[in-house]
Structure 1
Amino acid sequence: MPQQPTARRLFSYALVYKFRIICALLILCCAVGAELAGPYITKTIIDKHLSTDTRELLPVLGLLGMYLGLLLTASVGNFVQAYILQSTALQIIKNMRMDLMRHIQRISLRYFDNTPIGQVVSRIANDTEAIRDLFMSFMATFVVSLVQLTGIFTALFILDVRLALFCLLLPPLFALIMKIHLKYSKGFISIMRARLSDMNAMINESIVVMPIIQAFRREKVTLDEFETLNQDRYVNQIKQFKVFSLSSRNIVGTIGSLVTAMVVWHFGQESLQSAISFGVFYAFIDYLGRIFQPIIGIFDQLTNAQRAFVSAEKVFAILDMDGTEVEQTDNVRRPEGTVKFDNVTFGYKAGEPVLKNISFEAGKGETVALVGHTGSGKSSIMNLLLGFYEPNDGNITIDGRDIASFSKQELRKHMGIVLQDPFLFAGDIKFNVSLYNENISLDRVKSALRDVGAASFVEQLPNGYDEPVVERGSTLSAGQKQLISFARALAFDPSILILDEATASIDSETEGLIQQALKVVSEGRTTLVIAHRLSTIREADQILVLHRGEIVERGNHDELMAIEGRYYKMYQLQKGEQASPVISSG
């Protein structure tokens, strides 16, 4: 199905509030009409009451009163229409941001694998803000200008048909100038938006890895890379500004001055041949001067409009990506938890498999451990089980049902996961365990923290379970964050528990607490463990040794030690060098 043009898609967002927008534009037309009536009233006062022998005060006062009334009407109308249009524009952008945020949660993880976080943030924050200017400023300016030009030319034809016909050449001339302006400035604006996105991405990455940057003395290199992006954006901003300066107020002002001089010359010549009304002369010059105000207004908003369209194209590019609908899971049956991989082959890139013919089964209540060197495919198995990616070949089942037939939410509802690098959200301790799940009470939160051995340190915090957690939990130690993430998984009472290097970043004392807790919580659950420390999986029911995407050994600890193969060598190496980083997430 072909994609709709950007302008039409933007219009569809505005169409939701068509009555409010039409009302605001009608009020705007009335306000503009009231403003345009001013010069004609002034012309009437000059010609009929100041340029004749008539000195009646009441008609003049009446016309002045009408003039002031129209000014007041225009002022009130402009305020009302501006409020309606701006509040509507904010509502439109609010809806667009929510659509974007909802869709981002539906998109495959492959997109986030290849896209810097800062670019995604830029789409939601900066690009939608640029689109707001289109609805808030350009739309109002364009309508105002159109109404003003229509009214002005109507008045000019009433005053002097020949000059009005001559002035009709101005709109096509300015339209040509605008076309040239748009042609040259769009490229500069596209580069400016792209560099802003790149800068956001780099800033985000730099903040996240600041300890690494400082530890390896990369401050200057990072600054130089940012300066390159910043300089490129600056250069294109200057080029765009030059185009804007030459083709907007500068050229419009020059043409306006020349046309005004010609009109003054024309009326001066007319006055030598016949009596000409000074009021007509005043009104024509006044209206002529007003022709250039809406033109300049449109030029001033062209940059905002172009920026909005460039940003809209980027936003709609994300909205056009395939996504999976987020479904309700209130009535999803709790699975027994038997997991089976049957001849599964998978690769992140076509033709480059990271898993080859993987087959194993983990029954209810069993613990299956995955071990292997970096890149052996351990984490890829977990990613497939969680539905983050689809296998290229083979199938994965839970209780005999292919996980491809599950919705993503149904699949993950009864899974718990603890990562090697635990993530804590900004909030407090109890929120980071319950994640505002209505089915998880405070007592259950406390119980989960107690089971993993975290209650002792949490209760010693100044605010206990209400202790604030800053972004990424940087005020807590790695072990404390890991214990909280363990409590989070346990509080959700999963049928399938996934531990991805969950004990790799904690000290031996904390590891002992977690191991003790796991003996209790693993009972009756299927537990899959990616193991870094082989000593932690000695009690596993089955250990799978992976090498280059294939299972090369399988069995329990004693069986694998007896055959003295790859697992035996890794275990002996770790036993002799407890701090060795040989085994890590793959």
Structure 2
Amino acid sequence: MRNITKKVIHDHPKSFISMVLLIILSIITSLLPPLALEQIVNHLTDQKEVSLLFALAYLGLIVLSDLFASAQNISITIFGQKLTHGMRSVLVQKLNTITTGYLTNHESGAIASVFVNDADIINSLYSEGVVGMIADLFQLIGLLFVVFTRSIGLGFIILIVMPLILVMTRHFQKASLASQKQNRAAIAKVNHHIPETLRVLSMIHIFEKEDYMEDKYDQYIEESYWAQNKSNWLDSVYSPIILTIEAVVIGLLMIGAAQGQKMQTLFGINAGSAVALIAYVQQIFTPLESIGMEIQSIQDAMAGMSRIQDFLNKADSKPDIYQGEGDYFTFDHVTFGYLPDQPILKDYSFKVAKGEHVTFVGRTGKGKSTIVKLLLGLYQPQKGKILLDGSSPDAHPKN
């Protein structure tokens, strides 16, 4: 995956650079509105006039912050889509070289799930996971710096609370990873069950196995439901806990500031800085909550990534050992029929060059198997000639 990321960055340097710049600008602009609000509140408490230009500047900073945040999300999404495209290209290349034995020994639905469901997760891994987490971490560092310049006591409270949140987040992410793996496995079973049911539908009717197939489908859907339900429950519980901790931190700040001279050094704040600090606390817990959700997205993506990596690690088919020059197969005006008066191939000609891949398609009885038998030298044409590397197939040893 690291090699794919490097390749995408190399192929799309402008997208990567613009994404990094927008993340930096988004972090910087998110720190400015509370500072402006602090000055406005201090002016009001000192009974000073707040100019219209000052108020408009505060509103402008909010708009600017939101615009850069939106631009950041757009740039991350675009870059994530480019990574997804790169991953799908690698998967297709692998599919062209993987052994036939793997394709026959694995369920078609499970393979399709790797290309569709698991590959889609890659976008979440970057747009809602790794890149988003890095952006939130840098934003958190910037917010902590500003908080310490306003209230040392509040900064220490946040530093004490953060490890507790990280421990709790770790517990949630382990449980979420397990449920996401169960969900991925259940989805793969569903993806295989539907086409298999349609493929043997007549046999199901003949042996009266409709109820059995329906029960199996219900079983797979239920497995997916309970796994996803557990993941959703963890998600719904996590956010309220974060909001409760946020309220407790703000309460401790207000209690410490109300202690007067005893806590002046740690919590000495005025009305403006109190408003600004409350805004910063809310901003601090927003990336913390986002990091928790991004960890869940990463865990979800890692479950899909493990399946993709397993697919990419499968052995490739052996390369073409043909070393000759010119055309490998040649049908030269071939006419053949199992009964002389009922030809299957009539004046049929085609060539297959070295390294070329050809697929024969058509309805049953149109001659696909006959062509292969003629190439193997099992039959001889009534008219025309067949050449394998420039000579007749029966001149080659048969293993």
TM range (shorter): 0.7 to 0.9
Q: How do residues 449-528 of structure 1 correspond to structure 2 at under 5 angstroms?
A: 481-482=363-364, 485-486=366-367, 496-497=374-375, 523-525=384-386
What is the CA–CA distance in structure 1 between the aligned matches of 2:15 and 2:286, rounded to whole Å? 26
1:238 aligns to 2:229 (yes or no): yes
Aligned partner of 1:89: which letter? G
How far is the alpha carbon of 1:177 from its aligned partner?
1.4
Contact 1:152–1:291 under 8 Å retained in 2: yes
SS in structure 1 at match of 2:98 = coil
What is the CA–CA distance in structure 2 between the aligned matches of 1:50 and 1:39, rounded to whole Å? 15
Q: What is the identity percentage for the equivalent residue pairs of Structure 1 and Structure 2?
A: 19
Cα-to-partner distance string for 1:562-586 (whole Å, 9 max, x where unaligned): xxxxxxxxxxxxxxxxxxxxxxxxx
1:270 aligns to 2:272 (yes or no): no
**Correspondent of 2:138 among 147, 151, 155:** 147
Determine the structure 2 residue equivalent to 1:38. Answer: 33
Contact 1:188–1:240 under 8 Å retained in 2: yes
Determine the structure 2 residue equivalent to 1:73. Answer: 64
Contact 2:84–2:120 under 8 Å retained in 1: yes
1:292 aligns to 2:282 (yes or no): no
1:52 aligns to 2:43 (yes or no): no
**Correspondent of 1:314 among 307, 312, 322:** 307
What is the CA–CA distance in structure 2 between the aligned matches of 1:188 and 1:416, rounded to whole Å? 42
> How many equivalent pairs are there?
369
Q: How do residues 126-141 of structure 1 correspond to structure 2 at under 5 angstroms?
A: 126-141=117-132
**Correspondent of 1:96 among 87, 91, 95:** 87
**Correspondent of 1:116 among 107, 117, 131:** 107
How far is the alpha carbon of 1:225 from its aligned partner?
1.0
Change (3 A) 1:333 1:526: closer
Contact 2:130–2:294 under 8 Å retained in 1: no
Larger % of helix: which? 2
SS in structure 2 at match of 1:169 = helix
Determine the structure 2 residue equivalent to 1:27. Answer: 22
Cα-to-partner distance string for 1:277-303 (whole Å, 9 max, x where unaligned): 210111111111221111111222322
Task: Give TM-score scaled by structure 1 length.
Answer: 0.56
Contact 2:189–2:220 under 8 Å retained in 1: yes
What is the CA–CA distance in structure 2 between the aligned matches of 1:305 and 1:525, rounded to whole Å? 57
Change (3 A) 1:239 1:95: same
What is the CA–CA distance in structure 1 between the aligned matches of 2:205 and 2:105, rounded to whole Å? 26
What is the CA–CA distance in structure 2 between the aligned matches of 1:33 and 1:72, rounded to whole Å? 13
Cα-to-partner distance string for 1:214-247 (whole Å, 9 max, x where unaligned): 333221110111112222222222333333333x
Q: How do residues 168-247 of structure 1 correspond to structure 2 at under 5 angstroms?
A: 168-246=159-237
Aligned partner of 1:54: which letter? K
Change (3 A) 1:120 1:266: same
The farther-off stretch of 191-200 and 79-88 is 79-88
| Cα RMSD after superposing both structures | 3.8
What is the CA–CA distance in structure 1 between the aligned matches of 2:329 and 2:257, rounded to whole Å? 95
Determine the structure 2 residue equivalent to 1:259. Answer: 249
What is the CA–CA distance in structure 2 between the aligned matches of 1:185 and 1:105, rounded to whole Å? 34
Change (3 A) 1:227 1:263: same
Aligned partner of 1:250: which letter? P
How far is the alpha carbon of 1:311 from its aligned partner?
0.7
What is the CA–CA distance in structure 1 between the aligned matches of 2:370 and 2:355, rounded to whole Å? 15
SS in structure 1 at match of 2:316 = coil
Q: How do residues 405-424 of structure 1 correspond to structure 2 at under 5 angstroms?
A: 410=354, 424=362
Q: Which runs of 5+ in 1 are unaligned?
A: 1-5, 338-364, 370-407, 418-422, 425-480, 501-514, 528-540, 542-550, 552-586
Change (3 A) 1:283 1:323: same
Change (3 A) 1:142 1:495: same
Q: How do residues 300-449 of structure 1 correspond to structure 2 at under 5 angstroms?
A: 300-324=293-317, 332-335=325-328, 410=354, 424=362
How far is the alpha carbon of 1:332 from its aligned partner?
4.7
What is the CA–CA distance in structure 1 between the aligned matches of 2:154 and 2:19, rounded to whole Å? 33
Q: Which runs of 5+ in 2 are unaligned?
A: 339-351, 389-393
SS in structure 1 at match of 2:97 = coil
Aligned partner of 1:51: which letter? T
Contact 1:416–1:489 under 8 Å retained in 2: no
Change (3 A) 1:67 1:325: farther
Aligned partner of 2:301: which letter? A
Change (3 A) 1:336 1:32: closer
Change (3 A) 1:164 1:212: same
Determine the structure 2 residue equivalent to 1:156. Answer: 147
Q: Which has the higher relative contact order, 1 or 2, with Cα contacts under 8 A spaced 6 or more apart?
A: 2
Determine the structure 1 residue equivalent to 2:343. Answer: none
SS in structure 2 at match of 1:69 = helix
What is the CA–CA distance in structure 2 between the aligned matches of 1:135 and 1:250, rounded to whole Å? 26
Cα-to-partner distance string for 1:355-399 (whole Å, 9 max, x where unaligned): xxxxxxxxxx999x9xxxxxxxxxxxxxxxxxxxxxxxxxxxxxx
How far is the alpha carbon of 1:208 from its aligned partner?
1.8
What is the CA–CA distance in structure 1 between the aligned matches of 2:311 and 2:376, rounded to whole Å? 31
Cα-to-partner distance string for 1:100-125 (whole Å, 9 max, x where unaligned): 11211211111012101111111011
What is the CA–CA distance in structure 2 between the aligned matches of 1:85 and 1:325, rounded to whole Å? 39
What is the CA–CA distance in structure 1 between the aligned matches of 2:32 and 2:328, rounded to whole Å? 76
SS in structure 1 at match of 2:327 = coil
**Correspondent of 1:279 among 272, 288, 299:** 272
Aligned partner of 1:307: which letter? D
SS in structure 2 at match of 1:217 = coil
What is the CA–CA distance in structure 2 between the aligned matches of 1:416 and 1:296, rounded to whole Å? 53
Aligned partner of 1:292: which letter? F
What is the CA–CA distance in structure 2 between the aligned matches of 1:336 and 1:229, rounded to whole Å? 47
What is the CA–CA distance in structure 1 between the aligned matches of 2:319 and 2:93, rounded to whole Å? 9
What is the CA–CA distance in structure 1 between the aligned matches of 2:301 and 2:261, rounded to whole Å? 50
Contact 2:327–2:353 under 8 Å retained in 1: no
How far is the alpha carbon of 1:98 from its aligned partner?
1.6
